Structure 1
Amino acid sequence: MSDWPPKPFNQNTNQHNEPQANSGQEWQLLEKVVMASVTEQRRARRWGIFFKALTFLYLFIVILGVLRSCNNAGSDGVSTSSSSSHLAVVDIVGTIQSGGSKSVDSADTIKALRQAFAASGSKAIALNINSPGGSPVQSDEIWQEIRYLEKQHPDKKVYAVIGDMGASGAYYIASAANEIWVNPSSLVGSIGVIMPNYGVAGLAQKLGVEDRTMTSGENKDILSMTKPINPAQRTHVQAVLDDVHEHFINAVKEGRGARLKSNDPAIFSGLFWSGAQAVKIGIADRTGGIESLKRELKLDKTVNYTVQRNPLESVLGKMGAEFGQGFSETVTQQLQSQKQVSLQ
């Protein structure tokens, strides 16, 4: 009867605290086991990503090597076929700008021109032109190289053969040739410079759009679409365009010389003409195409020296740059993870 009456619950604390302490230790142990498992899974996942990335890099290098070997094989084919007499062709097709798989790039074009002039079998060089123009810088670089190579190889004439269009920067390049051949219906000329610009200040105000552009120079936001044009800025930009235009005019006059049959300032006003009209005013020499030029020169064969950029290789190149960045980040994260684990 000594156990009666039973003691209150709060008086039996020792008996209840023992199981609670044991339970807390078990939870701590379980938490450590779970965290260790999670850490191990993260580590395994990171290593998995690392090795997958390494495998992809290996495959990428193999594919890129195959593509380059194919391109090299194509180059060897050109050099082999260039030993016999032929008309060397360099394409000026598409917009003239730096980069892009379907544009005319000065670096690639200059490389092609040098190979065409250097080939022992090339008797003349034909610029196969079908372009609306583009960058005045790229155009001038090609023009300068043609003029230089003409002086280095006086025995090889350069013919600019214009197809559908030889306008603006494309005509800039054509003017460096010894002769310009056109189709009667070709569009030729457009000797001028343009800088498109639009003003939407009124529209922005109606839509409640506020321009918060900040600059550290009063003219840094020159030609801003959301602000009325400053007369002084307009004068400056016009002077820049006029200067570039003057370079264009001088290049044409130097290239064409006395063959320009008219002193009409309209020639340099940005107008374009048909091929037949171009011959009459002296910005072209005669009508004809690549085949008629071959017959004229009594050459049966053409060899195209244009640098052919493989679109797939261009895509892979961009992928490679992005992959390289991602691969570097993966390795960095892996190293940081290992460092954190070692510190723990």
Structure 2
Amino acid sequence: MRLWPKRRTTIPLVRLQGVIGMGSSLRPGLSAASVEAALVRAFAMKGPAVALAINSPGGSPVQSSLIFSRIRGLAQEKKKTVLVFVEDVAASGGYWLATAGDEIIADATSIVGSIGVVTATFGFPELLQKIGVERRVYTMGENKSVLDPFQPEKPSDVGILHAVQADIHAAFIAVVKERRGARLADDPDLFTGRFWSGEAGRALGLVDRIGNLRDVLRERYGARVAVREVPARRPSFLRGRLGLGAALSADSLIGAVRSDRLWDRYGL
């Protein structure tokens, strides 16, 4: 006969949502600094695991790597399991974050993958000629004006960019292989930048199972499991300063447009 009710298990939840590294007052982004406090609080709480809800189309590889490393470091320090729940999308840098999980759970219709590197820009040299503007660039160092959008594209410039992209791609692939290991399928498209649905991602080993946060946690920890969301806090120097003027600044609008372009790539 049980005299005391079974103790409730509490699982802290941190939401990693938005474009990584690129943000504005209109659409905040993710960075190691912006999620640090929430991660530290979540891993300090009592309980066997920390849940991460990811909804990101990617962004900065540097911030993706920093956030990933911080999650893994805290998990090892506190000896906690990390459960990742993919919402709409965990693609590119968003999938980099997902690999920090010991288990990745996605909806059948989530978007996952996009293990690649992309750089998008524009070229305007003919436009300058048409409107009678002369471009003047003064440098010390022959490569300081690489990929200038107002000058004709040079194969040597593209070669420099591809070399950097190759290093970033190799680092991304190494993380995925290290974390997913034998679970990965032998598929030639896996590291080409292609993305898949959650169901297809499960077959490829990018996802461990199909499910949702509430059902999976109840199955694992019992019906009395409680989810406690740990919100990220804005840096103190931004609090109270994001009024209408900041929200409508040129930088904020440009940041929001860039963010929307990344989301649009995955139909979101």
Contact 2:38 2:233 in 1 (8 A): no
Within the candidate set 54, 61, 82, 1:129 is matched to: 54
Change (3 A) 1:310 1:239: closer
Post-superposition Cα deviations, 1:27-86, rounded to whole Å, max 9, x if no partner, equal xxxxxxxxxxxxxxxxxxxxxxxxxxxxxxxxxxxxxxxxxxxxxxxxxxxxxxxx9631
Within the candidate set 133, 136, 145, 1:212 is matched to: 136
Task: Please give the alpha-carbon distance, in whole angstroms, between the structure 2 residues aligned to 1:113 and 1:181.
Answer: 19
Deviation at residue 284 of structure 1 after TM alignment: 0.4
In the TM superposition, what are the counterparts of 1:151-170 in structure 2 within 5 Å?
151-154=76-79, 156-170=80-94
Higher helix share: 1
Deviation at residue 123 of structure 1 after TM alignment: 2.5
Post-superposition Cα deviations, 1:125-156, rounded to whole Å, max 9, x if no partner, equal 111011111111111011111222222233x2
2:114 corresponds to: 190
Deviation at residue 251 of structure 1 after TM alignment: 0.8
Deviation at residue 250 of structure 1 after TM alignment: 0.5
| TM-score between the two structures when normalised by the length of structure 2 | 0.80
Within the candidate set 13, 18, 21, 1:97 is matched to: 21
Task: Please give the alpha-carbon distance, in whole angstroms, between the structure 2 residues aligned to 1:278 and 1:100.
Answer: 31
Contact 1:99 1:105 in 2 (8 A): no
Task: Tell which deviates more after alignment, 101-110 or 282-291.
Answer: 101-110
Unaligned runs of 5+ in 2: 1-6, 247-268
Does residue 66 of structure 2 align to residue 141 of structure 1?
Answer: yes
Task: Please give the alpha-carbon distance, in whole angstroms, between the structure 2 residues aligned to 1:89 and 1:318.
Answer: 26
| 1:316 partner SS | coil
| 2:240 partner SS | helix
2:231 corresponds to: 306
Which amino acid letter does the alignment assign opposite residue 224 of structure 1?
D
Contact 2:37 2:233 in 1 (8 A): no
Q: Number of residues paired by the alignment?
A: 234
Task: Tell which deviates more after alignment, 223-232 or 282-291.
Answer: 223-232
Deviation at residue 231 of structure 1 after TM alignment: 1.5
Contact 1:128 1:162 in 2 (8 A): yes
Deviation at residue 271 of structure 1 after TM alignment: 0.6
Deviation at residue 315 of structure 1 after TM alignment: 5.7
Contact 2:106 2:210 in 1 (8 A): yes
Percent identity over the alignment is 39
Unaligned runs of 5+ in 1: 1-82, 323-344
Which amino acid letter does the alignment assign opposite residue 248 of structure 1?
F
Contact 2:34 2:234 in 1 (8 A): no
2:102 corresponds to: 178
| 1:273 partner SS | strand
| 2:84 partner SS | strand
Contact 1:98 1:106 in 2 (8 A): no
Contact 1:98 1:138 in 2 (8 A): no
Within the candidate set 286, 295, 308, 2:209 is matched to: 286
Deviation at residue 100 of structure 1 after TM alignment: 4.4
Which amino acid letter does the alignment assign opposite residue 207 of structure 2?
A
Which amino acid letter does the alignment assign opposite residue 89 of structure 2?
M
Contact 1:133 1:171 in 2 (8 A): yes
In the TM superposition, what are the counterparts of 1:70-109 in structure 2 within 5 Å?
85-97=9-21, 100=24, 102-109=28-35
Post-superposition Cα deviations, 1:201-255, rounded to whole Å, max 9, x if no partner, equal 1222222221112222221111011111222221111000110111111111111
Contact 2:21 2:59 in 1 (8 A): yes
In the TM superposition, what are the counterparts of 1:250-329 in structure 2 within 5 Å?
250-260=174-184, 262-297=185-220, 298=222, 299-309=224-234, 314=238, 316-317=240-241
